[in-house]
Amino acid sequence: MRPLSTTVSLMIKEALRSILPDRTAFHLLATALGRAVQHGSLVVVDPWGQRHVFGPDDTPTASIRLTDPRIPGRVLADPMLGVGEAYMDGTLVLEQGSLRDFLMMGASIASDFASPSQKPQRPNPVERARANVAHHYDLSEELYRLFLDPDLQYSCAYFQDGDESLELAQAKKKRHIAAKLRLETGARVLDIGSGWGGLALELASRHGVEVDGLTLSQEQFKVATARVADGGLEPHVRFHLRDYRHETGVYDRIVSVGMFEHVGPTHYGEFFNIVHRLLAPDGLAVIHAIGRTGPPSGCDPWIEKYIFPGGYCPALSEVFTAIEPSGLRVTDVELLPLHYAETLRCWSERFRAHRARAAEIYDERFCRMWEFYLAACEAAFRGGNMTVFQIQLTRSIKASPPTRDYMIDEERRLLV
């Protein structure tokens, strides 16, 4: 059952969608845009053919045409959902500027159009988690190969110098994490949310550790398992179709990259309690995930509906509140927001370059959805309050040196 506040919010949205006359809705939207666009210039051609200019600049940053009279009411009801669906449907047409230009403008004025989304509080049991993972990660492997690097790294790369290729930046990301893990030959490592296996394979082949990877994605499990055989790494790397809540081993190191976003706020305490239980007394863990630098907030309704059902990017305050009673110690924190913005820019460019093939695998509407997803996320990291955090955790204060010098020294050694 939905909370009463959520139900009321949904009723208000539906009223805005269906009750407001189309021209009245556009007038309200235009008034809001007139207040909100403080930089650049946005041109909107309304569904009746009239041109409207918002913002102080003479040269438009972006120009769009709305072809459906219902769009203004939908945007007022839920800005991100309304804009995203209109772009997917082809009823919001870009006439000047790129989708990236348009969404970067949107990120700068987002506070004036805050959606009344509620923070998710629903439980995320294993079967629901499995279904949510399948929605996104069990898409065609070929789709992901169109825009990811050959190692299929689907998380924030590490642009240490700023001009790296995507391949090099992803390699540096893996080495950056390895340096924080302080790996020793023969150590047992648990990879929670192991994806297509690239990080686990790197840790085993370069550092001589034993890795168990956990995933709920059938497609990722299939690819990762094949890669173990192809790389001759049996029995040093093992992948399992298993929820982290069902893991029973004890590990010297635990790493999790891009999985915590799928845990759900009601399970944060459980997650860190399990990390504590699985981690050896002198062990060390690194959690890499998307979060936000502002206070706790609702999910983006378009992302939740079309891209990551059940996903939630936490405020750092929510993460630390969950860690504190677990018995784990936070020994290092690093934030990498612009690194993910650059990663998403690279993915967007590669997807556009292979868009025709993506349309053959799926269809035009899917391609528009994927374009919007990548561009909107880049805008959120560049102009919003989204970030990527890496948190190092230990059970014993002796597990991590008193300064960060060891990370830098190890990373330099690994890059040789």
pLDDT tens column, 380-414: 999 889 999 999 999 998 999 989 999 999 988 88
Task: Please say which residue of 73, 91, 113 terminates a domain.
Answer: 113
Q: Are residues 106 and 130 in the same domain?
A: no
Asked if 144 and 196 sit in the same domain, the reply is yes
SS3 track for the chain: CCCHHHHHHHHHHHHHHHCCCHHHHHHHHHHHHHHHCCCCCEEEECCCCCEEEECCCCCCCEEEEECCCCHHHHHHHCHHHHHHHHHHHCCEEEEECCHHHHHHHHHHCHHHHCCCCCCCCCCCCHHHHHHHHHHHHCCCHHHHHHHCCCCCCCCCCCCCCCCCCHHHHHHHHHHHHHHHHCCCCCCEEEEECCCCCHHHHHHHHHHCCEEEEEECCHHHHHHHHHHHHHCCCCCCEEEEECCHHHCCCCEEEEEEECCHHHCCHHHHHHHHHHHHHHEEEEEEEEEEEEEECCCCCCCCHHHHHHCCCCCCCCEHHHHHHHHHHHCCEEEEEEECHHHHHHHHHHHHHHHHHCHHHHHHHCCHHHHHHHHHHHHHHHHHHHHCCEEEEEEEEECCHHHCCCCCHHHHHHHHHHCC
Q: Tell whether 289 and 364 lie within a shared domain.
A: yes
pLDDT at site 120: 59
Q: Are residues 81 and 172 in the same domain?
A: no
Predicted local distance difference test score (pLDDT) of residue 59: 86
Work out how many domains the chain is built from and give that number: 2
Asked if residue 62 and residue 142 are part of one domain, the reply reads no
Q: What is the pLDDT of residue 195?
A: 97
**Residue 121 placed within a domain:** no
* Token pair recorded at residue 390: 């890496």
List the chain residues with pLDDT less than 50.
1-5, 7-8, 11, 16, 114-116
- Same domain as 137, residue 240: yes
Q: What is the pLDDT of residue 250?
A: 98
Task: List the catalytic residues.
Answer: 377
Note whether 293 and 387 are same-domain residues: yes
118 within domain boundaries: no
Q: What is the pLDDT of residue 1?
A: 38
pLDDT of residue 52: 96
Residue 289: per-residue pLDDT: 98
97 and 213 inside one domain? no
Residue 50 confidence (pLDDT): 96
pTM to 2 decimal places: 0.92
Write down which residue in 79, 113, 147 finishes a domain. 113
Residue 119 pLDDT: 60
Residue 122: exposure state from Cβ atoms within 10 A (0-12, 13-18, ≥19): exposed
